[in-house]
């Protein structure tokens, strides 16, 4: 009897932490205001605003929760999520994840260096290959909450790497993996790998 009660309590406890799956249709209605910056389908036209289309739902949800809680500072998002529930955030994430991302184009003069950093890292600097976490195709890793980079604006990727490097963005966890990697990249390497990753498809 005690074992049975313990199992029921454990299941209930787990159930309380499990959020219902995001509803893309509900997310579409909730995302109308988001479209002003990110585009109606999540393919923003301005490189200062990230493309959300086709991004992993788990990654989008983590970022939205981090922005809402203040764990990730994004001044242009101030107040935008205050009235939204976790289910609302899950629905918005599901909507954008279901959209098709538009491709990016790498700058030809940056491809050689960018490819080298992305695929092999920089051994002498202790920089791991970006492909290890973000996949060889730039598709990312949803279960690990590593974002897709393919098609993302190169300027946006570069801005995030600089933010990690300058400790302006710190929501990469206790491992500091992105802050560590970005701190070891020169501006030239950072711009090249951002351009290369954007052009992957």
The answer on 194 and 114 residing in a single domain is yes
The mean of the pLDDT values for the chain is: 92
Shared-domain flag, residues 57 and 84: yes
90 lies in the same domain as 51? yes
Contacts of 79 (CB under 8 A, 6+ apart): none
pLDDT at 1: 44
Q: How far apart are CA 100 and CA 103, in angstroms?
A: 9
- Read off φ and ψ for residue 40, nearest 5 degrees: -60, -35
For tokens 């994430």, the residue is 93
**CATH (domain of 158):** 1.10.760.10
User: Looking at the predicted structure, is the pLDDT value of residue 5 above 90?
Assistant: no
Q: Which domain holds residue 90?
A: 19-97
184, 122 Cβ separation under 8 angstroms: yes
* The pLDDT value given to residue 20: 63
Statement: residue 185 has pLDDT above 60: yes
- Say if CB 196 and CB 110 are below 8 A apart: yes
Task: Identify the domain boundary among 97, 125, 156.
Answer: 97
Cα 127 from Cα 48, distance rounded (Å): 26
146 in helix, strand or coil? strand
pLDDT digits (tens, 9 = 90+) for 24-73: 999 999 999 999 999 999 999 999 999 999 999 999 999 999 999 999 99
Q: Between 8 and 101, whose confidence is greater?
A: 101
pLDDT at 10 over 60: no
78 in the same domain as 26: yes
Tokens 């935008």 label which residue? Answer: 80
Task: Indicate whether 114 and 193 sit together in one domain.
Answer: yes
Percent of the chain with pLDDT over 90: 89
Contact 51, 102 (CB under 8 A): yes
pLDDT in tens, 116-126: 999 999 999 99
Please indicate, yes or no, whether residues 139 and 182 belong to a single structural domain of this protein: yes
**For residue 3, how many other CB atoms are within 10 A of its CB?**
7
Domain end (from 72, 97, 122): 97
Looking at the whole model, is its pTM more than 0.75?
yes
State how many domains the chain has. 2
Whether the per-residue pLDDT at 6 is higher than 50: the answer is no
Is 26 domain-assigned? Answer: yes
């Amino acid at each position: 009897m005690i074992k049975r009660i313990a199992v029921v309590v454990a299941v209930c406890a787990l159930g309380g932490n499990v959020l219902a799956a995001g509803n893309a249709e509900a997310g579409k209605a909730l995302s109308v205001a988001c479209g002003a910056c990110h585009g109606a389908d999540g393919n923003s036209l301005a490189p200062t605003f990230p493309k959300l289309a086709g991004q992993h739902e788990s990654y989008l949800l983590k970022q939205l929760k981090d922005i809402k809680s203040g764990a990730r500072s994004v001044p242009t998002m101030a107040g935008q999520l205050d009235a939204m529930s976790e289910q609302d955030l899950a629905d918005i994430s599901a909507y954008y994840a279901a959209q098709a991302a538009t491709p990016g184009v790498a700058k030809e003069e940056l491809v050689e260096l960018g490819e080298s950093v992305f695929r092999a890292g920089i051994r002498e600097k202790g920089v791991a290959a970006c492909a290890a976490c973000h996949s060889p195709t730039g598709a990312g890793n949803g279960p690990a909450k590593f974002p897709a980079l393919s098609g993302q604006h190169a300027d946006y990727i570069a801005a995030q790497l600089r933010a990690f490097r300058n400790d302006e963005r710190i929501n990469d966890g206790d491992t500091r993996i992105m802050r560590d990697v970005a701190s070891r990249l020169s501006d030239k390497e950072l711009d090249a790998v951002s351009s290369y990753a954007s052009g992957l498809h």
